[in-house]
Amino acid sequence: MTEKPVFIALDFPDAESTRGFLKPFSKLTERPALKVGMELFYSEGPDFVLELKRAGYTIFLDLKLYDIPNTVGHTVARIARLNVDYLTIHAIGGEKMLAAAVANKGESLKLLAVTQLTSLSENEIRETQLTSATIAESVTHLAKIAYEIGVDGTISSALEADLIRKHTSDQFLRITPGIRLSGDGVGDQTRVTTPQKAKIIGATGLVVGRSITQAENPLAAYQQVMKEWRD
């Protein structure tokens, strides 16, 4: 497992299109890390996750669990048996839910708490969550709760990565979606930045979907992301 992973978000409808997408990446000496989200997981189920694990990929299973503590705890225990490397839960599920997830994750699975989705703006958060908190305050608050309970890291925009580090620890993971290569469209995302800026601000890992998957040459786009991230 690489220390500062760049996850390609495999937001594809099925296994066949995913296998086709991954073909050009097989010639790389270092395999990319992969994120399997709801679309692919609900389409293909655990068997396809196991296939990707057997092929040697680091796997981030992004199911964003959000339910009562008993249900989340038992679900995390089942997911841990898939030997995936990372799993998402919603920080807003509360301390007891987070604690149930931590208690059931086993040794190797890393739990990432989603703070505020990168698609949300401050106005939307204020209106739907009936809060006067800024994004910075809200993300920091949720990150601190997750950190104190023993979650391994957060999902947030890279724009908040330094703030999270300051309120938690250097070791606390700060994995950041909402990443675009410069010139690419933002789409449904709101809090967006480039791989290079994410690194400068203090992200410890990236999630990149459409800037790679929808690129004319996905392998070249991935290599560009890696260059900005590592150089």
Question: What angle is formed at CA 117 by the lines to CA 112 and CA 120, rounded to 5 degrees?
Answer: 165
63 in a labelled binding site: yes
Question: Does residue 208 belong to the site contacting ligand OMP (CB under 6 A)?
Answer: yes
CB of 230 to ligand OMP, least distance (A): 19
Question: What angle is formed at CA 13 by the lines to CA 12 and CA 14, rounded to 5 degrees?
Answer: 100
CB of 189 to ligand OMP, least distance (A): 5
Total number of residues that touch ligand OMP (CB under 6 A): 18
Which of positions 144-163 make contact with ligand OMP (CB under 6 A)?
A: 155
Residue 85 appears among annotated catalytic residues: no
35 in a labelled binding site: yes
Catalytic residue from among 4, 53, 67, 197: 67
Please check whether residue 132 is in contact with residue 126, taking contact to mean a CB–CB distance below 8 angstroms.
yes
Residue 62 appears among annotated catalytic residues: yes
CB of 62 or CB of 228, closer to ligand OMP:
62
Q: For ligand OMP, which residue of 6, 8, 9, 40 counts as binding (CB under 6 A)? A: 9
CB of 11 to ligand OMP, least distance (A): 5
Which of positions 10-39 make contact with ligand OMP (CB under 6 A)?
A: 11, 37
Catalytic residue from among 4, 53, 64, 96: 64
Residue type, 224: Q
Among 70, 66, 60, 150, which Cα is nearest to 102's?
150
Residue 105 appears among annotated catalytic residues: no
Binding mask 46-85 for ligand OMP (x = CB under 6 A): ----------------x-----------------------
DSSP string, 131-185: ----HHHHHHHHHHHHHHHT--EEE--GGGHHHHHHHS-TTSEEEE--B--TTS-
42 in a labelled binding site: no
- DSSP-derived pairing of the beta strands 173-176 and 59-65: unpaired
Question: Does residue 88 belong to the site contacting ligand OMP (CB under 6 A)?
Answer: yes
Question: Does residue 177 belong to the site contacting ligand OMP (CB under 6 A)?
Answer: yes
User: Among the residues of the chain, which ranges form H helices?
Assistant: 15-22, 38-54, 69-80, 95-104, 122-128, 135-149, 161-167, 195-201, 210-213, 218-230
CB of 73 or CB of 209, closer to ligand OMP:
209
Q: Which two tokens stand for residue 106?
A: 């086993």
Measure Cα distances from 190 to 22, 116, 168, 179 in Å.
28, 11, 24, 10
70 in a labelled binding site: yes
Catalytic residue from among 4, 14, 27, 62: 62
Residues interacting with ligand OMP, by CB under 6 A? 9, 11, 37, 62, 88, 114, 117-118, 155, 177-179, 189, 207-211
